[in-house]
Chain A
Amino acid sequence: MTAPRESLPIRLARSSLKLALRLWPAESKRWGRALAAELDEIETPSGAIRWALGGFMLFARASASHFLAWLKLPAGARVGVTSLAAGTAAPILPKRSRLFTAAVLIGSTAFLFLPRSREAVSTVRASWHDFSVSYGDLRALENLGSRAEQQNDARTLAFASLALPHSDQATAFADRAVALDPTLVWIYVSRVGRPQFVPPPAQDLARLIESDPDNAFPELVAAHVIAEPIQRAFIFRDAPEREIEAALASDPAWLADMDRAFRAPRYDSYFSRDWQLTSDVWNRERSLSPSIALSVRMHHSVPDWLSIEAYSNLLAHRAQETAAAGHPKDAESQLEQLNYFGQRMTEQSDTDIERRMGLGVSFQAENELRNLYVNTRKVSESAEAAQQLEQIKTRIRVLTHSWLSIGTPQFRVLERSAIFVQVFAVFAVLLSLAIAVSLLALELPPEVRAKRRLRLRSVICLVVDWAPIALLAACVALLRAFQPFAGVLGLAHSIGSAPADWQTMHFEKLFALSIVLSPIINFFDPYHLWVILTCTLFVLLLFLLLRGFVRYKRA
């Protein structure tokens, strides 16, 4: 005879109670077993289901009360363990409950999720990568680009293509942006130099030259495309600069591009348009890391100085030859052309580096003009050229001085703040790691009784008791120390079309965060290694002396 087959609801009730029993907290498991044992007495399927549902309610209550009891105990303690085996010592446990530790950790995490804290954390993290675009930033930019693609948002697409490193996706974003808004064609040349020169597609460059015919910059980029492989080949051979210049001068396409660039009535390297675009998107997408916005400045394309210098030398040399051939007027006109290009670049540039290049060209032109006037005995013109040279020298000096001492007193104050920001940030990271390791050590491993381990366990308990509070304090201190940098970011957010210098000055202050890390980054630098070793040995010696003194006193 076979046993009557149980109905599906009864089997379901039985198996679900069996499953609950497996997970039932130990201290009340016998009640679960008692409830499950009664199931055999129930004959109706609906009664069995109701009984099992009651069992689940009991299981939920037992689990909740187990969890609450577990929370009220310190980390490492187990619910329901009241007596110890004979000969075993009570385990060392932290003083504070899990509930307290969890509340402080949740408080710290919530604090770090405040908008201002998130800005601080992302800026500090970016400073640890020297403000280069991180993997997380790349993912954010790719998502932003994909979203903009769906919404046909040309400006955001253009921003994503500019902020991303050169890749097929960046090119696809750029193509889509220009297809949606042809006035954005300048994005193809705006950051060709990041981090090394990548020539823009020929047809895109041709489109840009066609759409912006008065601008010298696209012509200079076109010349750079020709010059770059020639320069690279000669630089590899360690050839003198004169040879490179001769090689470039023998290329008619390069000569034509440079000639058009030097005659163009306008100079615009698209920095302002680039910044305006970045500013628009950055203000809209507040979660974007500051490093993305900083990459505008870092990766802004400047013309190839070697090409400009080579062509300037060529024009100066031609002028000298023209003068020597007895045509000083023509020579003067050639040098004037060179000088006008330098002046345009100086006056119409948005960045100091381009301005410095323009001044360099003007200096060479004025110097050649002065020599020409001296040779042709034009005293007043020669004096005027000398005066112009002095003015250019002064401007170069001012420009260099402003680079070397960017906002000196304010910058130094920010450097000090940066030390505090970095110390608190590193402290917070170390505390988080210590808490995680200590909690794992208390909750996971079996009881350890060795004396040395007991000492270690005391330290672990101390960490679990105090580190969460220290972490919360470090987070608050980090945000407090970050206030000046939050101001810098606030100003940067509010800049719409201010000159590049001003943007640069403000962003330079953010770099103070990165500068203070250089001793840590350059840890293996011989000087820093020597300093660290000396300090470590000194601290060790001090410790040994103190220990010896204490032992002597005790004896």
Chain B
Amino acid sequence: MGIRLRLSRQNLAVIEVLLASPSRWHHGYAISRQTSVPSGTLYPILMRLEKLGWLETRWEDAAAQGRPPRHLYRLTGNGRAWAREELRSAQQRKFWRPAVSQVRA
């Protein structure tokens, strides 16, 4: 595909949040708040995850009145498998310590 994801701590924090409740759709601002990753860094990560095919996106069905619809994100099946593997590997290397929740096997 030609796109590689550099696994920084910010990347790992984002995928950890997405993996914490993998079937649920997440909002960008919520991810940013949970991970403390600023918007200028968060969105490039999400864009790359999507390009790799590991992130599903969709627009909110019913937006609140007067507000634009929000964008929603969750990991794909492949994305979940990859994310688990990467988090485990990072934990083994002691590069990463889980913060949000226990990563499910």
Q: Which of B42, B46, B57, B64 contacts A54, CB < 8 Å?
A: B42
Instruction: Quote the shortest CB–CB distance from B59 to chain A (angstroms).
Output: 8
- Assuming the contacts A38-B28, A41-B27, asked whether A54 and B43 have C-beta atoms less than 8 A apart, the reply is yes
User: Which residue of A is nearest B73, CB measured?
Assistant: A34
Instruction: Quote the shortest CB–CB distance from B10 to chain A (angstroms).
Output: 13
A50 contacts chain B at the CB level, 8 A cutoff: yes
- A54 close to B28 (CB less than 8 A): no
User: Which residue of A is nearest B30, CB measured?
Assistant: A41
Instruction: Quote the shortest CB–CB distance from A494 to chain B (angstroms).
Output: 60
B29 contacts chain A at the CB level, 8 A cutoff: yes
What is the interface residue range for chain B against chain A?
20 to 34
- A33 close to B29 (CB less than 8 A): no
Instruction: Quote the shortest CB–CB distance from B38 to chain A (angstroms).
Output: 5
Bound CA–CA A42/B29 (angstroms): 8
Instruction: Quote the shortest CB–CB distance from A61 to chain B (angstroms).
Output: 6
Instruction: Quote the shortest CB–CB distance from A470 to chain B (angstroms).
Output: 35
What is the interface residue range for chain A against chain B?
20 to 34
- B40 close to A40 (CB less than 8 A): no
Instruction: Quote the shortest CB–CB distance from A84 to chain B (angstroms).
Output: 23
- A34 close to B40 (CB less than 8 A): no
- A36 close to B39 (CB less than 8 A): no
- B68 close to A37 (CB less than 8 A): yes
- A33 close to B43 (CB less than 8 A): no
- Assuming the contacts A34-B28, A38-B27, A38-B28, asked whether A61 and B67 have C-beta atoms less than 8 A apart, the reply is no
- B39 close to A51 (CB less than 8 A): yes
User: Which residue of B is nearest A55, CB measured?
Assistant: B39
Q: Which secondary structure dominates chain B's binding surface? A: helix
Q: Which of B39, B40, B44, B71 contacts A33, CB < 8 Å?
A: B71
Q: Which of B10-55 contact A (CB under 8 A)?
A: 27-29, 32, 38-44, 46-47
Bound CA–CA A37/B46 (angstroms): 15
Contacts of A57 in B (CB 8 A): 39-40
Contacts of A54 in B (CB 8 A): 38-43
Contacts of A61 in B (CB 8 A): 44
B9 contacts chain A at the CB level, 8 A cutoff: no
- A38 close to B41 (CB less than 8 A): no
Contacts of B32 in A (CB 8 A): 51
List residues of chain B with CB under 8 Å of any chain A CB: 27-29, 32, 38-44, 46-47, 57, 64, 67-71
3 nearest A-B residue pairs (beta carbon): A54-B39, A34-B71, A57-B40
14 A-B residue pairs with CB within 8 Å: A30-B71, A31-B47, A34-B28, A35-B43, A37-B67, A38-B27, A38-B70, A40-B67, A41-B29, A51-B32, A54-B41, A55-B39, A58-B39, A58-B43
